[in-house]
Structure formats: structure tokens, C-alpha cells
Chain A
Amino acid sequence: SQQGEEDPQALSIQEGENATMNCSYKTSINNLQWYRQNSGRGLVHLILIRSNEREKHSGRLRVTLDTSKKSSSLLITASRAADTASYFCATDTSGAQKLVFGQGTRLTINP
């Protein structure tokens, strides 16, 4: 079974609102990363949070990590139409030295 599972699978909000996406995983990790993918394009790395970190910020992005619950959340504040994309979490599983991606959340920002 896959390591990371995003929730919700799809999210549609109005421009200016905040968007929150969640990721759950099953095994212990070294780090967790979030990527964005515009339709039919490659993935772009957004932010990485290590297993000993609880929160990280990058511009309008805020990521939290709760290793006790094996979950992470990505918050995009003041959303823009250009944020419309699919968002994936990826886990670097301890000892595996490879990333395992979830199915992603499809985010639509309505103008």
C-alpha cells in the first residue's frame, strides 16, 4: 500500500481564501516533502520538513508535521489563481533512501 495519502483528493476554493491539504503516512520517515504539479507538467519541489521539525514556513506556505500521528499538513494562505495545481506529499522512509509519493490533492482556485 502507498506510504503517503493526501486528503482531500480535490479541493475548490475562492481566490484569497486559505487552502489546507493533509497527508498521512504509515512508517517512520527521515523527512516529508511537498511538491506541486501543474497539469501535464513535471513536479516542482515546494518545501521539505525533517522528522525532528514540527513547522516550517516558505512565503505563503506553511507545513506542519506530527510524527506521533504520522501526518502533515500544507497550508497555502491568500490563495491565487496560479496556485491551481495538484499537490503531492512524498516521504523519505527511514533506510529506504527513496521518495514515496501519495496520490495528490487537486486544488482549484476560483477567481
Chain B
Amino acid sequence: ETGVTQTPRHLVMGMTNKKSLKCEQHLGHNAMYWYKQSAKKPLELMFVYNFKEQTENNSVPSRFSPECPNSSHLFLHLHTLQPEDSALYLCASSQDSASGPSTDTQYFGPGTRLTVL
């Protein structure tokens, strides 16, 4: 176990549904990340939060809405998704540095396997 948990582990949703992915880290880190992993594509960084403030939005469509209520929890709210959004969504955390998120080591959760019908 890496100290980062994600729920649910699997999610099947229709294109008109609204759902949320949850991530929780028990490592005392200050930075949290959402990644998307699709088949045959590199891991794509979606969002970065440092001290609960969003510091990176990697041109992600607005149908993905992140929320970081505190430094231990991160949500990804989903609405009106497309079938091509089906992927493994990974959350990660790291220890920040004074000038921004430290990228020395990231700790990943097990991921949520999302299928959009």
C-alpha cells in the first residue's frame, strides 16, 4: 500500500450521468495530482493542487471538474462524459517544496477504472 486510496475502484456510467471520483492520501503531503491513463498512450497529467490551490490545469475539458477541500482529499467530478473518456484515472500525492510541488517522488493510488457507455 502506498498510502493513497481511491474510490470507487471501478465505475461504469452513462454519458448523461454525474459521478465523482475520490482520492485520499494518508502521507501528510501537500500536493495532489489527477492523471488519466488510456490504452497505448502516455500517462497524462490533468490537474495539480498545491496547498489546496490548483496550480495546473492541463487543457482538460470542463466536463472534468476537480475539487480539493483540504490537502488530504481530492475529488474529480464527472458530468456528460464521452466514451473516449473511458480510462484508468490515477491520483497521486507528493511532498511540496517552498517553490511549488516537489516532484522528487509521487505516490500513486490504485486508480479508478472508468467506463463510459
Residues in chain A within 8 A of chain B (CB atoms)? 2, 4, 30-31, 33, 35, 40-45, 48, 88, 92, 97-104
Contact = CB atoms under 8 A, between A and B. Distances in A.
A45 B106 contact: yes
B103 A43 contact: no
Contact of B105 (A30, A33, A40, A98): A33
A29 B6 CA distance: 30
B42 interface: yes
Contacts of A101: 42-43
A45 B6 CA distance: 18
Contacts of B110: 41-42
A103 B40 contact: yes
Tell me what chain A mostly uses at the interface: helix, strand, loop, or mixed.
Answer: strand
A2 to B, nearest CB: 5
| Most chain A CB neighbours (cut-off 10 Å) among B100, B101, B105, B110 | B105
Contacts, number: 57
| Most chain A CB neighbours (cut-off 10 Å) among B56, B99, B104, B107 | B104
Contacts of A44: 2, 108
A104 B6 CA distance: 23
A111 to B, nearest CB: 26
A98 B109 contact: no
A17 B41 CA distance: 28
Interface in B21-48: 40-43, 45, 48
Given A42-B4, A101-B42, A48 B108 contact: no
Interface in B71-117: 88, 90, 92, 99-101, 103-111, 113
Contacts of A104: 42
Interface string B45-78: 1001000000010000000000000000000000
Given A45-B105, A92-B103, A98 B48 contact: yes
Contacts of A92: 103-104
Contact of B111 (A2, A4, A41): A41
Contacts of B105: 33, 45, 48
